[in-house]
A and B are shown apart, each in its own frame.
Chain A
Amino acid sequence: MHSLTESLFRAIDGISDRHIEECAVFDKSKIGKKENLSFVSAKPKRKKHRIKKTILLAAIIPVIASMTLFVGSGGKNTEIEEIPINIREGIFTLSYVEVEKGTLLHRMKIVMVPSLEINGEAMLSAPEKFSDEAESLVALHKENGFEELVLPSDFSSEKWAVSEKNFFISDDNRHWNSNVVLESEKGSVRLNVTRKFFLEGSRIIMNYNKPKRAESMVLNGLDVVIVEQAYGSISVEYFTRKTHGNGTTEDYGYSFVFNGYTFEEVTEIVRTLP
């Protein structure tokens, strides 16, 4: 060790006891408020916080006349557009300009297309052969009143393989999420099914990022499908409401992310659902 370096080392060694004692254990309670922010992120706050405020506000003020869904709450980027949805006789009518009412009047069913193959096995025809995750997925779809997953007929001509799958139910059983990625030569489809708890009287908030495009459609009254393009992928979000025997309602959201497909192709797929 160089003597000068050693001198500096010795000098540091000679700092007062109080500093050494103070630093024996990292005490988070001593971190100042301003300093604490640096632990979260050096970036400025994003507008995500605005969304939270809106939800909170919406939760406090019951809005009977309007019922909205919460879409794309990830706070992904800058522009946020609120899309009010009015309830008229229990039917969602989107007042969003791009809504094409009546384009699809069929209730969207969650169907595992029999010809859809995973690792050479037809999915619904022999669910017992699938992984536990896939079985659970099918079971949950059925449990929630969706018998079938509808995919366009030409999908059946493609050979699909599962590249990723997981299934998650939270500890408190308040929400569940399943994720299956199917891949073919043409592209891949991620089936991401999430049960969401929407607040009665809340407002719909949608991230609207350019060059993202979005198209909303009404499906058989209560269901809403939104096709949106963002971050190089196309997603189809599907919302529905289930009424329980005791009259209470719950809203569910499902999303399908299409990779390798164009916005037009996906829109067409959704439009031409049987």
Chain B
Amino acid sequence: MEDRNIIELFTERSERAIVELSEKYGNVCMKVAYNVLGNKEDSEECVNDAYLGVWNAIPPQKPNPLLTFVLRIVKNLSLKRLKYNTAKKRGADIPVCFDELSEVLTDMNLENSPEARLDIEMTAKVIDEFLETLSYTNRYLFVRRYWYMDSYESLSGETGLKEAAIRKRVSRMWTDLKLRLKSLEEGLSYA
């Protein structure tokens, strides 16, 4: 079913909207939630909460694209749940990609600088522009790794590339991105 038809169902307050949404995007939602939480039960709960969030948001909103709208809700809920789990020491681990981001910042001599801060909006813009310069595969790898938080193993399975090759590609992308971030005075400033 087309996204606009699903949105129409939400607008009509038809419960079929949830069924159609789940059928179309349920898997990718679960994947995102699971990538963050690493726990099936929590992930299912977050996805269901996200459906409820979509139900409450539409109407009045008419999101386009619908997929990213739902995914962002799923991801935010999952991250909140992760924080909750971590704070209560309930066994949830921080996604591995966070460590990689921390390493990037260390490489940039920022991680240990308490005064350093990152303008999130500007940095997002730089990353956006950077993604435009990449080949489709590299863009896919970067976005899947750091937005969807896919594991390297999963990426390898999907793309057919070897894990080592993916890591190398990602590492090269970061080398380029770090230069862009460093050169961005507006986006990266020291108080």
- Where the two chains meet, the residues of A that have a C-beta atom closer than 8 Å to any C-beta of B are 1-2, 4-5, 7-17, 19-27, 30-32, 35, 38-39
Contacts and interface: CB of A to CB of B under 8 A. Distances in A.
Contacts of B143: 15, 19-20, 22-23
A11 to B, nearest CB: 4
Contact of B124 (A11, A26, A31): A11
A21 to B, nearest CB: 5
Contacts of B160: 39
Given A14-B124, A22-B136, A31-B135, 4 more contacts: A7-B123, A15-B131, A15-B147, A26-B158
Given A11-B124, A21-B68, A26-B158, A5 B105 contact: yes
14 contacts: A1-B94, A2-B111, A7-B120, A7-B123, A8-B104, A11-B118, A11-B123, A14-B124, A15-B124, A20-B71, A22-B143, A23-B140, A24-B71, A32-B136
A124 B121 CA distance: 79
Contacts of B81: none
A23 B110 contact: no
Contacts of A20: 67-68, 71, 143, 147
Interface in B109-151: 110-111, 116-118, 120-121, 123-124, 127-128, 131, 135-137, 139-140, 143-144, 146-148
B28 interface: yes
B98 interface: yes
Nearest to A40: B160
A97 to B, nearest CB: 44
| Interface class of chain A by DSSP | helix
Interface of B, helix, strand, loop or mixed by DSSP: helix
Contacts of B148: 23
A93 to B, nearest CB: 48
Interface in B17-64: 28
Contact of B75 (A11, A13, A31): A13
Given A5-B101, A7-B117, A14-B124, A26 B159 contact: yes
B118 A14 contact: no
Contacts of B159: 26, 39
B136 A30 contact: yes
A24 B28 contact: yes
10 tightest A-B contacts by CB? A14-B124, A11-B123, A7-B118, A23-B143, A17-B68, A30-B136, A11-B124, A5-B102, A20-B68, A12-B146
B65 interface: yes
A19 B131 contact: yes
B161 interface: yes
Which residue of B75, B105, B137 has the most chain A CB atoms within 10 A of its CB atom? B137
A258 B72 CA distance: 62
B101 A15 contact: no
Nearest to A8: B101
B123 A23 contact: no
A23 B67 contact: no
Nearest to B155: A26
A35 B117 contact: no
A41 to B, nearest CB: 11
B87 to A, nearest CB: 11
Contacts of B65: 17, 21
Contacts of A23: 139-140, 143-144, 147-148
A23 B147 CA distance: 10
Nearest to B141: A23
Given A11-B118, A13-B75, A23-B147, A4 B137 contact: no
Contact of A35 (B71, B101, B123, B137): B137
Contacts of A38: 161, 165
